[in-house]
Amino acid sequence: MKLKINKNSKIGLIGCGYWGTILINSLSQLGYKNIVVYDQNQKNSKTLKQKFNYVKISTSFDQIINNEDIKAIILATPPKNNFNLIKKCIFSKKNIFLEKPGIRDSKKMKLLTNLAKNNKIIFMLGYVYCYNDYIKKIKDIIKSKILGKIQYIKLERKNLGPIRNDVDSSYDLASHDLSIIAYLFGLKKKIQVIDFKKHKILNKKISDINYLYLKLENILIDVETSWLNPNKVRSITIIGSKKMLFFNEINTYEPLKILNKYATYPKIQNFKKNFFNQKAKIYLGNNYSINVKEKPSVQNELTYFFNCINKNKTPFTDGFFATKILKLLN
């Protein structure tokens, strides 16, 4: 019988840097404190121990995967190291939560996913926005059809830093936005890359600013990411035939708004022939905010991961989900 995960279960965490610290804090808030950590840089492990004195420090990665009491491992490690680490976790029968983008190669991601499936291992990627309560609400709004027919979506994710040297800003930032699109519209609909412009400013090997243009059926999608922007921007604009939606994650007071406005051309005969004689009509109505009772997204995704283990359920953001995201970026 497969061991269930509960608040007393021993959990392994590999990678004690910036995001590893956030994950430990989220686990703590959820009541999980039986945690064994390892980082190649022992200074990171000791710093984490100072903040969370209940964690136990392991001297090696192998020590964690060989510990039979540990049934779940969380990886917050650089993509270049993850392929071999994940394989070792799978062969040691450890369920895996892998922080995105995980690895850069979509073929390797697919290989690992099949390997996990064949070994009956829960393998989940940490695409945190798929577990964000506001993003869930946006999905409900799209399903309700109040926006009308979706015509255009723009996603912006910009800030000054943090700047990475292991992956470019498309893997680090645009992967969030692509996961949002995949979550909102499902995996069955094909997303087509129209154009992908990468601009390398600081480093000749890594792009700092990216413009990704996509098409999903008749919907045009524009994704703009940068870690060289003076102002922090995290927003989603959705243009519908009846209404518009604007989500501003930075605005904690009114993050989600429905804009009762749209533009259209009048329906006439021989429209193409008389196009230049026609004027678009713009409708401007009242706007309103939508409030959502929000829980921390990282806590949501970790809770979901443990539930998938206990119910032997394939996560929505599994390796196949990640493979589709990586194919758009490769």
Nearest Cα neighbor of 129 from 190, 72, 185, 184 is 184
Residue 328 lies in a domain: no
Instruction: Round to whole Å and give the CA distance between 306 and 264.
Output: 47
The answer, yes or no, to whether residue 215 has pLDDT greater than 90, is yes
Residue 176 lies in a domain: yes
Q: Report pLDDT digits (tens) over 183-194.
A: 999 988 889 999
pLDDT band at 270 (very low <50, low <70, confident <90, very high): low
Residue 260 · residue 220 · CB < 8 Å = no
pLDDT band at 263 (very low <50, low <70, confident <90, very high): confident
Residue 326 lies in a domain: no
Instruction: Round to whole Å and give the CA distance between 225 and 19.
Output: 20
At 275 the pLDDT is 58
Structure tokens at 228: 């060289």
Residues 177 and 244 in one domain: yes
Residues 90 and 17 in one domain: yes
Residue 323 lies in a domain: no
At 166 the pLDDT is 87
Instruction: Round to whole Å and give the CA distance between 61 and 42.
Output: 12
Residue 16 is classified by DSSP as -
At 274 the pLDDT is 61
Residues 50 and 145 in one domain: no
Please tell me the total count of domains within the chain: 2
Residues 205 and 139 in one domain: yes
Instruction: Round to whole Å and give the CA distance between 105 and 118.
Output: 20
Task: Report cis status (omega within 30 of 0) of the bond before 230.
Answer: no
At 327 the pLDDT is 95
Tokens 């800030």, located at residue: 159
Residues 121 and 203 in one domain: no
Domain that holds residue 218: 133-289
Residue 103 · residue 329 · CB < 8 Å = no
At 85 the pLDDT is 97
Residue 157 lies in a domain: yes
- Cα end-to-end span (Å), the chain: 40
Residues 22 and 122 in one domain: yes
Residues 275 and 314 in one domain: no
The answer, yes or no, to whether residue 52 has pLDDT greater than 90, is yes
At 201 the pLDDT is 96
- DSSP collapsed to 3 states, 148-161: CCEEEEEEEEEEEC
Residues 264 and 308 in one domain: no
More confident residue, 300 or 204: 300
Residues 120 and 171 in one domain: no
Q: Quick check: helix, strand or coil at residue 292?
A: coil
The answer, yes or no, to whether residue 322 has pLDDT greater than 70, is yes
pLDDT band at 25 (very low <50, low <70, confident <90, very high): very high
At 281 the pLDDT is 83
Residue 213 lies in a domain: yes
Q: Domain of 285: which CATH number?
A: 3.30.360.10
Q: Domain of 106: which CATH number?
A: 3.40.50.720
pLDDT band at 285 (very low <50, low <70, confident <90, very high): confident
Residues 147 and 274 in one domain: yes
Q: What percent of the chain has pLDDT over 90?
A: 86
Residues 141 and 284 in one domain: yes
Residue 259 lies in a domain: yes
Q: Computed from CA positions of residues 166, 170, 171, 173, in that sequence, does the dihedral angle turn out positive or negative?
A: positive
Q: ∠ CA 107-110-115 to the nearest 5 degrees?
A: 130
Structure tokens at 132: 């964000």
Beta pairing class for 95-99 and 244-248? unpaired
Q: What share of the chain is helix, strand, coil (3-state, %, to 5)?
A: 35, 30, 35
Residue 270 lies in a domain: yes
Return the C-alpha torsion angle 286, 292, 297, 300, nearest 10. -140
Residues 273 and 158 in one domain: yes
pTM score, whole prediction: 0.94
Query: In whole numbers, what is the pLDDT of the chain averaged over residues?
Result: 94
List the single range of 82-86, 124-128, 164-168 with lowest mean pLDDT: 164-168
User: Across residues 145-167, what is the average pLDDT?
Assistant: 95
Residue 148 · residue 218 · CB < 8 Å = no
User: Across residues 71-93, what is the average pLDDT?
Assistant: 95
